[in-house]
Amino acid sequence: MKKAHTWFYGIALLIPVFVLLAVEGILRVSGYGNSHHLFIPVPNQPAYMQPNPDVIHRYFPSPEAAPNVAIDTQFFLAQKPTETLRIVAMGGSTAAGFPYGRFGAPAGILQHRLKGLYPERNIEVINVAMSSINSYMLRDFIDEVLEIEPDALYIYAGHNEYLGVMGVGSSYQGLGSHGLNLLYLSLKEWRIVQLIQALIVSVQASDGSSAESSAASSDIATSNSRTVMASIAKNQSIAFDSPAYMAGIEQFSDNLEHIVTQFSTAGLPVFLSTIASNDRDQAPFNSTYSLPESIEAELTAPSMSLAQLDTLYRQHSYHALVNYRYGQAVLANNAANNADNNIDNAHHFFTTARNLDGLRFRAPEHFNAMITDVAQQHANVHLVEGKKMLADASKDGIIGNALMLEHLHPNAKGYALLAHSALKAMIEQGLLPPAPYAQTQSIAEQHSQVSAADIIFAQHKINNLTSDYPFTSSPKPVPILTASDPAEQFGLNRIQKNDYLLQQAHLVNHYQQTEQWLLAANAASTLADGLPFNAQYANGAASLYRQAGSFDYAHFYALQAARLEPSNVNMQLNLAQIQFNKRLFEQAIATLQRVLKLQPNHPQAQQYLQQIQQHASSAS
């Protein structure tokens, strides 16, 4: 009898499970819902994959509810070649290279630099970073990143923990607690969960009495016309050491530990970077500590002396703007007296001002301490000194507008320094072979894939960002930029058409016509990188780099073209000539012998072969 009861209760408990599975199966068979995979096939190029531009939609019940952000387009081989070193970069908008995009991101700069250092190696740096995301999304990406067989990870993240998607103070908040957010991440692919989400959104939309739902709908509706930064903040203010502040620390700490543990368990080295922001020239957006209105007004228009600020600080040391103005006064006093004392005090006040800033677009300094601790506690995790690299290049060691565009996004020079910090760590930790990376930093800057067109287009994006909340209390007209040369005009044209490939084609033609061969080659290289299956673009970049006398970069692209079209005689000849320029005589001879196998009587190949053999014998 007891056995029968056990069977009865067991079946009774299983019935709801079977019903849920049946409903889930019906929804899937009927085509309901979506699975927004991190990587998807490239249309018309079945051998290639790319990051999914719609992957942000996996965290929202409808596309309209999601912020207008995407991972930059990048194609890579679905079947990883045997001798390829594949590095995957992860993070938020800084890791994504905002506002320059893929080729201005640390990952893009790093990959281009690796071509010059190791032209005969195939090293990929695949970037899955995206604006507005935080450690929840990085945690969610782990399994799919592992599927593409990376050899190492580079992570620059932390600024979006409070106001990014699922952040504790964001308009795009999750389910309210770290545990519930993790539960949602594990269940979001279930069609039943997606159906419930859709039903909740439908009910909220039809409930006209809900002011909160109306406000949320308004935020979503305006997110396309306003910046994501403006729509995501929702006037949230999070006080230092408050429960919400501590929740952000908890989620970052737990997610980061999980991320590096998973990758380390898979035997992969993780290069984890400290994060930087504009401390010197970005005043706090909000202070959660109140002051008398008269004092607030004086602080907004700074005219207080160092002595006055010292007195005010002693009374109101928890006010973000007081700390910021005090730091400015210390630096101004140093400048007036031609001294460099009290720099440590200035550092302290600027850092404290950021820590106390209630509108948490910039991560508090505690995050860098956590990043450092995680790197020290895991054998496979290596610290990348990203912030230190920028600070060392800044006046007084305090990062400001010289390397930052606004509150936390570096300019082109700042991004190059972040890439340099990653390269330094990767070589020192043995992921990459020894190379003269320190001595070739200036060469790397000359080979930047960020052009004058990109810089002016990026400035437009920054102007758009800073013309809205929280940089201003209400949206202002975006300043109109004017071009000073044809290259900048191509960038301004892109504001209307947003056609990057067209901009780059115009740049190549312009720089060729004006015989600026290195700039032409840099622009051509972006076309070759953007369409890595196009041998003509690779060969064109190789030819232009050879014309510019940049033989290492020419070598890289010539090898790429020759691999894509091994039977193309002209591309093989181009490669042989570049190998000869680099005095790689044996390689040049082998390349020409391949040409003569294709066309035994090719007169140019025969002539080149004879000349190179003579050079080789005389050199020996």
Domains and CATH numbers, the chain: 39-193+219-280+361-446 (3.40.50.1110), 293-356 (no CATH), 499-619 (1.25.40.10)
Any idea how long the chain is? 620
For the chain, what is the total number of helices (H) and then of strands (E)?
Answer: 26, 8
β-bridge mates for residue 271, sequence order: 154, 382
Please count the other Cβ atoms lying within 10 Å of the Cβ belonging to residue 188: 17
Instruction: Tell if the pTM clears 0.95, that is, is over it.
Output: no
Q: What is the pLDDT of residue 458?
A: 98
- DSSP letters, 188-232, are TT-HHHHHHHHHHHHHHHH-TT-HHHHHHHHHHHHTTTS-HHHHH
Q: Which of 415, 546, 487 is nearest to 113 (CA)?
A: 415
Q: Look up residue 613 and give its two tokens.
A: 């053999």
CB atoms within 10 A of CB 473: 8
The DSSP bridge partners found for residue 49 are 41, 76
User: In which residue ranges of the chain is pLDDT below 70?
Assistant: 1-14, 17-20, 23-25, 27-28, 31-32, 197, 200-202, 204-227, 233-235, 302, 619-620
State the pLDDT at residue 7.
Answer: 61
Spatial CB neighbours of 275, under 8 Å, sequence gap ≥ 6: 94, 156, 157, 158, 159, 363, 367, 368, 371, 386, 387
Structural tokens at position 136: 């929840």
Backbone torsions φ then ψ of 91, nearest 5 degrees: 150, -165
> Residue 250 has what pLDDT?
97
381: which DSSP letter? E
pLDDT at 224: 43
Q: CB neighbours of 53 closer than 8 A, spacing ≥ 6?
A: 70, 71, 73
In whole angstroms, what is the distance from residue 457 CA to residue 483 CA?
10
Q: What are phi and psi of 53, to 5 degrees?
A: -65, -15
CB-based burial, 558-568: b 16+ in 10 Å, e otherwise: bbbbbebbeeb
At 456, list the tokens: 């002016």
Query: Rounded CA gap, 99 and 104, in Å?
Result: 8
Contact predicate 542/557, CB 8 Å: yes
Greatest Cα pair distance, the chain, in angstroms, is 100
Cβ(442)–Cβ(518) below 8 Å: no
**Nearest CA among 602, 575, 601 for reference residue 590:** 575
What's the token pair of residue 272?
């984890």
Q: What is the DSSP string of 40-104?
A: EEETTEEEEEEE-TTGGGGGSSSGGGS-S--PPP--EESS--TT-EEEEEEESHHHHTTTT-GGG
pLDDT for the residue 233? 67
C-beta of residue 73 within 8 angstroms of C-beta of residue 128: no
Pairing between β-strand 76-77 and β-strand 152-156 as defined by DSSP bridges? unpaired
378 burial via Cβ count (<10 Å: 0-12, 13-18, 19+): middle
E-strand ranges in 463-579 read: none
Residue among 227, 228, 220, 238 nearest 285 (CA): 238
What backbone phi and psi angles, to 5 degrees, belong to 287?
-115, 130
- Token representation of residue 93: 């908008």
User: CB under 8 Å to 586, separation ≥6 — which residues?
Assistant: 616
SS (H, E, C) 14-38: HHHHHHHHHHHHHHHHCCCCCCCCC
Q: Where are the alpha helices (DSSP H) in 316-411?
A: 320-336, 343-356, 366-377, 386-392
- Closest-CA residue to 408 (of 470, 363, 457, 459): 363
Nearest partner of 165 among 283, 87, 255, judged by Cα: 255
Candidates 514, 532, 524, 587; CA nearest to 550 is 524
- Cβ–Cβ < 8 Å for 116, 444: yes
- Give CA–CA dist 83/117, Å, rounded: 17
Q: Report the 10 Å Cβ neighbour count for 57.
A: 17
- What does DSSP say about strands 85-91 and 123-127: parallel, antiparallel, or unpaired? parallel
d(CA 460, CA 606): 54
Cα–Cα distances (Å) from 144 to 52, 148, 532, in that order, read 12, 7, 22
Identity of the amino acid at 502: L
As given in the structure block, the two tokens for residue 441 are: 């930093």
Query: Tokens for 257?
Result: 């530990």
Between vectors from CA 419 to CA 384 and to CA 74, what angle results, nearest 5°? 115
pLDDT of amino acid 397: 96
pLDDT at residue 209 in the model: 43
CA distance 229 to 236: 12
What one-letter code names the amino acid at 614?
Answer: Q
